[in-house]
Amino acid sequence: MSEFSFVWFFIGMAIVAVGALILRYYNKLAEITSVGNYSRWQLTGFIIIGAGFLVAMNVHVFILNLIVQSIISGY
């Protein structure tokens, strides 16, 4: 397993902050951009927050490693 890294922790917290801002202002974003509806912006915010927590806990390296190994072992 991988070690804890403060750099990835702060990057993950920055990603969580962006997701929280999207959740805070999802209605304005939906009106300004006219891309999707309100619930799509909310879902995007929740997905970004979840990804941010994975990055903060340094789990993303493990997940990406599993994906790459499964693709390479198939050949």
User: In the chain, what are the helix, strand and coil shares in percent, each to the nearest 5?
Assistant: 80, 0, 20
* The two structure tokens encoding residue 38: 């309100």
Half-sphere exposure of 71 (CA within 13 A, CB side): 6
Q: Model's pTM, two decimal places?
A: 0.79
Question: Phi and psi for 54 in degrees, rounded to 5?
Answer: -65, -40
Which residue ranges make up each domain of the chain?
6-73
Whether 4 and 34 have beta carbons less than 8 Å apart is answered as: no
What's the pLDDT score for residue 62? 85
Q: pLDDT truncated to tens, each residue of the chain (75 aa)?
A: 567 788 989 999 999 999 999 999 888 888 888 777 888 889 999 999 999 999 998 888 888 888 898 888 866
